[in-house]
Structure 1
């Protein structure tokens, strides 16, 4: 296990800047996920950590040891690729043992290590098979086994689940989480799947255009996004964004919201002092679908709760919940309700909105206010 420091790392290919000054302090034993859309630079950053790409400037340190220009084989890092990169002519045993044989470990030590890893990943019965005889999930376990057998300081996972079907992805996600809990290793993991990021990470680095937009715990990133991009990228369905005017109503600052033809004045929480000082300005109100729901009696009288009626335009059952779309300030807004509470499209429903969970963004800068 080891800490990893990424200090103002930049990477350019010719005149094209891919990484534009990335800095992160990753603690010993943390599970860090780099998440973002295709082309944001997350895989390039991973390759720079592994030594597969030379950084243009900046520094990478493992346990305060500068590895910026160290050869990949000397960094004590193991990487699991999206393609698994298994040797097709070797059986599973040989694939796992290959790195240990290269290091010229004694045969009995190699065998003990292969058996340990196979038991950990529950692939003992596959050791004599070749990769072509394995399913996608089994190949993924073998690729992980090959990395685990080395006992490196840091593990790098580059979209290891992207080739699996939806059900297997969920199962392997759980396996990776269990693995980290058992081993307590430092892991840096790349994905474009924000569900993967939320469920696996200790901390998430949300990337866009070669910059880290926000670096925090899954709950911090979800509840307190730094800007519109982070708020829209994390969460499924995405956060609702509604342009609203900050007005004064009965001597109190609030935001004006028109729902199905009726104007409502929503309270601004006490902690949002900056918004309360923006009377006369237009801002973006961000609120998660689960914070606009059906009326729950015990929640109705809590602070910052607002009750209003709205005409339902669309109903989307998802199983455990139902999403209903309602027009607010001329925009379609997602609300998450219990399936038994949803009404047919065209009918009016009473909603409860938790303004205590609302966040506000500047229209011009798109940053959190």
Structure 2
């Protein structure tokens, strides 16, 4: 296990500037996830950590040792790829043992290590099979086993579950989390799947165009996004963004809203002092679908709640919830309601809006107010 420090790392390919000053301080045993859209620099940063790409400027420090110029083999890092990268002519046992044999470890130690890893990943009964005889999930376990056998300081996972079907992806996600809890090894994990990020990470780095937009715990990133990009990227379905105006209503700053031709006012949470100072200005209200739901009578007296009647445009049953689309300020808004209380398209339904966790963004910059 090891800590990892990425110090002002830049990476360019010719005139194309991919990484633009990345700073990360990763503690020993942390599970860090890099998320962001395609082309944001996630995999390039991973390759720079592994030594597969040389940084243009900046430093990569592992366990207080500067490894910026070190070869990949000297960094004591194991990488698990999206494509599994197994040797097709070798059985599972040989695939796991290959790296140990290259290092000329004693045969007894190799046998013990392969057995331990096979038991850990529950693949002992697969050791004699070739990769072509395995399912996608089994191949991914073997790829992880090969990395685990090396007992490296740091594991790097580059979108390891993207080739699996939805059910298997959920199962493997759980296995990776259990594995980390057992081993306590430092892991840096790249994904474009924000559900993976939320469920696996100790901390998440949200990237865009070579910059880290926010680096924090899953709950911090979800509840307190630094800007509109982070708020929209994390969460499924994503946060609603409603352009609206801050007005003075009966001596208090509120949000003016219109639904189906009827005007009403939404309370501004007391902690949002910066928004309260913008009376007469337009802002962007960010509110997640689970904050606009069917009426819960026992909560109706809370000061941050408001009820509104709205016509349902579309419903999407998901089992546990029904996603319901309405219009607010002439913009489509997703709501999450209980299936037993969900209306049908064309029906008018009363929705309860909870502003307690609402966030606000500057209209021009998209930054959090």
TM-score, normalised by the number of residues in structure 1: 0.99
Look up the match of 1:2: 2
The 2-side partners of 1:300 and 1:35 are apart by 37
The 2-side partners of 1:164 and 1:308 are apart by 42
Look up the match of 1:112: 112
Task: Kindly indicate whether residue 206 of structure 2 is the aligned counterpart of residue 206 of structure 1.
Answer: yes
Instruction: Map Cα deviations across residues 74-108 of structure 1 (whole Å, 9 max, x no partner).
Output: 00000001111111111100110011111111000
Look up the match of 2:52: 52
Find the residue that maps to 2:28 and give its secondary structure.
coil
The 2-side partners of 1:343 and 1:125 are apart by 51
CA drift at 1:346 = 1.3
The 1-side partners of 2:302 and 2:149 are apart by 54
The 1-side partners of 2:160 and 2:67 are apart by 25
The 2-side partners of 1:41 and 1:17 are apart by 10
Find the residue that maps to 1:334 and give its secondary structure.
strand
The 2-side partners of 1:315 and 1:267 are apart by 27
The 2-side partners of 1:76 and 1:159 are apart by 20
CA drift at 1:344 = 1.3
The 2-side partners of 1:303 and 1:76 are apart by 55
Query: Number of residues paired by the alignment?
Result: 369
The within-5 A match list for 1:1-369 is: 1-369=1-369
CA drift at 1:298 = 1.5
Find the residue that maps to 1:114 and give its secondary structure.
helix
Q: CA RMSD in A?
A: 0.6
Give the gaps of 5 or more residues in structure 2: none
The 1-side partners of 2:59 and 2:319 are apart by 48
The 1-side partners of 2:268 and 2:103 are apart by 63
Find the residue that maps to 2:45 and give its secondary structure.
helix
The 1-side partners of 2:261 and 2:341 are apart by 22
Instruction: Map Cα deviations across residues 109-161 of structure 1 (whole Å, 9 max, x no partner).
Output: 00000000000000000001111111110000000000000110000000000
Find the residue that maps to 2:171 and give its secondary structure.
helix
Find the residue that maps to 2:235 and give its secondary structure.
coil
Contact conserved, 2:267 with 2:303, CA < 8 A, in 1?
A: no
Contact conserved, 2:7 with 2:23, CA < 8 A, in 1?
A: yes
Give the gaps of 5 or more residues in structure 1: none
Deviating beyond 6 angstroms after TM superposition, the runs of 4 or more aligned structure 1 residues are: none
The 2-side partners of 1:163 and 1:314 are apart by 31
CA drift at 1:303 = 2.7
The 1-side partners of 2:266 and 2:162 are apart by 42
TM-score, normalised by the number of residues in structure 2: 0.99
